[in-house]
């Protein structure tokens, strides 16, 4: 009965997950520092990256992103943990026999080889037949829009074009996973934005799984199907750009991605909170208060309003109003001495927002994010 429905599965979820994508299980890596100390670069990382996904690893400098990328590539050996590609365990394979390829920030092109020869290099090493190499090089040059530049040396190309050669070279071997370590960091802002569009297009066209490391949160939000935010050697949150921006799991994520107001608020017996001398409000979701009876609520400046269009959060006095063209950056001083950042979008002319004016700050409950107490 080939078409009989399959009802349920007795296989554990992790076994099913491992059949596809890239699975990292409890990866640990420490380094001895020259000063005689020890750094935990990876402190028990578990991640499931899906086939054909644009996956971004984001975090501040030193949080372990590059170490994990290098471990996937085989350039770093884990102290413990496992890496699977589909059902195959790859963490004990030498780098050259893993079906992954890496693009570095430095491009690492061969300066004495032409663009076409740079792209062909890996294929020649694998003894791919000549005719096949020629076809694939032409295909790759078209893919990264470098037609006509095959005879040039890297030094005769712009930074953006060199980066395209590096991408073409890495994709020519048709890896299952392409690892990208801050590949756009050396480009100026405008070129960088252009290359981000290009990378998304390349990823969609080829269907290759991209694992992309960056410390630039805007880049991460614009590129990633999903993003892992790293801190101190572990991913603290994994989710879509929207999930991470709108529902950060803790203060670190709320602070690292975008801008947030962090309000320390008391909680009463009814489970309500208030900001400074504002009205008592219901919590949008139940959260435990810290030992001192307070909790932290995060709210984005652009989610606060001054025009009465959302329920009152607190009253205050404008202490600063900065005109930024597309919006106003405003600070509101509260009775308890704290100050709130608020972004006001146009039209703001009727609101008569001048320093010293009394204002009512409003917020919809769904935009208030109580943060779990960090133990
Ligand atoms: N070969 C090494 N020897 C000693 N310490 C290392 C080595 N490689 C990395 N580290 C340390 O391990 C930690 C994680 O480094 P890693 O390069 O993975 O961070 P990162 O998040 O990629 O940072 P960046 O964005 O600055 O590259 C850092 O504290 C770093 O100093």
pLDDT digits (tens, 9 = 90+) for 80-139: 999 999 999 999 999 988 999 998 877 788 999 999 999 999 899 888 899 999 999 999
Structure token digits, residue 68: 């994990």
Q: Which two tokens stand for residue 308?
A: 């009465």
Q: Which domains does the chain have, with CATH numbers?
A: 17-246 (3.40.50.300), 260-371 (2.40.50.100)
- Beta carbon of 64 within 6 Å of any ligand 1 atom: yes
Which stretches of 152-250 are DSSP H helices?
Answer: 159-172, 189-206, 217-223, 241-246
Instruction: Give the tokens for residue 54.
Output: 């644009």
Using a 10 angstrom Cβ sphere, with 0-12 exposed, 13-18 middle and 19 or more buried, the burial of residue 15 is: exposed
- Residue 94, Cβ density class (10 Å: 0-12 exposed, 13-18 middle, ≥19 buried): exposed
- Asked whether residue 11 carries a pLDDT value surpassing 80, the answer given is no
Pairing of strands 54-58, 226-231: parallel
The DSSP output letter for 305 is B
Element (H, E) at 315: strand 312-323
Ligand 1, atom nearest to 42 Cα: 14
Given a contact cutoff of 8 angstroms between Cβ atoms, the answer to whether 357 and 285 are in contact is no
Backbone φ and ψ for 162, nearest 5 degrees, come out as -60, -40
Contact 58, 230 (CB under 8 A): yes
End-to-end CA distance of the chain: 55
Determine the residue of 32, 39, 69 to mutate for testing ligand 1's pocket, defined as the one with the most ligand atoms within 8 A of the Cβ atom. Answer: 39
pTM, entire model = 0.85
Say yes or no: CB of residue 235 within 6 Å of ligand 1. no
Q: Whose CA is nearest to atom 29 of ligand 1?
A: 62
Q: Write out pLDDT tens, residues 279-308.
A: 999 887 777 778 888 889 999 999 999 999
Question: Whose Cα sits closest to atom 6 in ligand 1?
Answer: 31
Task: Please give the distance, rounded to the nearest whole angstrom, from the Cα atom of residue 60 to the centre of ligand 1.
Answer: 11
Q: In angstroms, rounded to a whole number, what is the distance separating the alpha carbons of residues 339 and 80? A: 47
Ligand 1 lined by 66 (C-beta under 6 Å)? yes
The answer to whether 45 touches 235, Cβ cutoff 8 Å, is: yes
At 101 the three-state DSSP class reads strand
Q: Give 312's DSSP letter.
A: E
- pLDDT computed for residue 85 by the predictor: 94
Overall size of the chain counted in residues: 375
Residue 7 pLDDT level (bands cut at 50, 70, 90) = very low
Of ligand 1's listed atoms, the one at least distance from the Cα of 70 is 18
Q: How far is the CA of 163 from the centre of ligand 1 (A)?
A: 24
Residue 356 has which token pair?
A: 């010293």
pLDDT tens, 313-368?
999 999 999 988 888 899 999 999 999 999 998 877 777 788 999 999 999 988 99
**CA dihedral over 191, 164, 212, 202, signed as positive or negative:** positive
Q: Whose CA is nearest to atom 1 of ligand 1?
A: 31
Among 22, 18, 17, 14, which residue's Cα sits nearest to residue 208? Answer: 22
Find out whether the beta carbon of 233 lies less than 6 Å from any atom of ligand 1.
Answer: no
Question: Is 63 touching ligand 1 by the criterion CB < 6 Å?
Answer: yes
Which contacts (CB < 8 Å, 24+ apart) does range 269-273 have?
Answer: 273/297, 273/370
- Picking from 237, 235, 241, the residue whose alpha carbon sits closest to that of residue 222 is 241
Is 215 touching ligand 1 by the criterion CB < 6 Å?
yes
Mean pLDDT score, 225-231: 96
Of 47, 24, 21, 58, residue with least CA distance to 224 = 58
* Closest to 208 (Cα-Cα) out of 265, 250, 170, 162: 170
Phi, psi of 163 (to 5 degrees): -65, -35
Predicted ipTM > 0.90 = yes
- Confirm if 29 and 82 have CB atoms less than 8 A apart: no
């Amino acid at each position: 009965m080939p078409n009989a429905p399959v009802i349920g599965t007795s296989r554990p979820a992790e076994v099913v997950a491992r059949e596809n994508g890239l699975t990292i299980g409890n990866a640990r890596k420490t380094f001895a520092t020259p000063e005689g100390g020890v750094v935990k670069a990876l402190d028990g990382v578990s991640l499931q990256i899906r086939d054909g996904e644009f996956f971004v690893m984001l975090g501040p400098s030193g949080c372990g992103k590059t170490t994990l990328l290098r471990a996937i590539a085989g350039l770093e050996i884990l102290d413990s943990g496992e890496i699977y590609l589909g059902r195959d365990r790859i963490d004990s394979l030498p780098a050259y026999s893993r079906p992954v390829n890496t693009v570095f920030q430095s491009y690492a092109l061969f300066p004495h080889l032409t663009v076409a020869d740079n792209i062909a290099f890996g294929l020649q090493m694998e003894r791919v037949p000549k005719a096949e190499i020629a076809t694939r090089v032409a295909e790759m040059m078209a893919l990264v829009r470098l037609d006509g530049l095959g005879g040039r040396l890297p030094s005769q190309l712009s930074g953006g074009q060199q980066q395209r050669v590096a991408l073409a070279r890495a994709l020519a071997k048709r890896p299952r996973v392409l690892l990208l370590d801050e590949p756009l960091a050396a480009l100026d802002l405008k070129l960088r934005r252009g290359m981000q569009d290009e990378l998304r297009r390349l990823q969609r066209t080829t269907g290759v799984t991209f694992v992309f490391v960056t410390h630039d949160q805007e880049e991460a939000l614009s590129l990633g199907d999903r993003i892992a935010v790293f801190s101190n050697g572990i991913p603290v949150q994994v989710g879509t750009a929207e999930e991470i921006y709108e529902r950060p799991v803790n203060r670190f994520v709320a602070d690292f991605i975008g801008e947030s107001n962090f309000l320390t608020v008391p909680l009463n017996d009814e489970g309500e909170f208030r900001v400074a001398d504002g009205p008592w409000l219901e919590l949008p979701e139940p959260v435990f208060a810290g030992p001192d009876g307070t909790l932290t609520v995060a709210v984005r400046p652009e989610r606060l309003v001054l025009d009465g269009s959302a329920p009152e959060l607190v009253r205050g006095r404008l202490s600063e109003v900065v005109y930024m063209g597309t919006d106003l950056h405003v600070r509101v001083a509260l009775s308890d001495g704290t100050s709130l950042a608020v972004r006001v979008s146009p039209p703001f002319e009727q609101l008569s927002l001048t320093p010293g004016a009394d204002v009512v700050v409003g917020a919809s409950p769904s935009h208030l994010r109580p943060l779990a107490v960090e133990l």
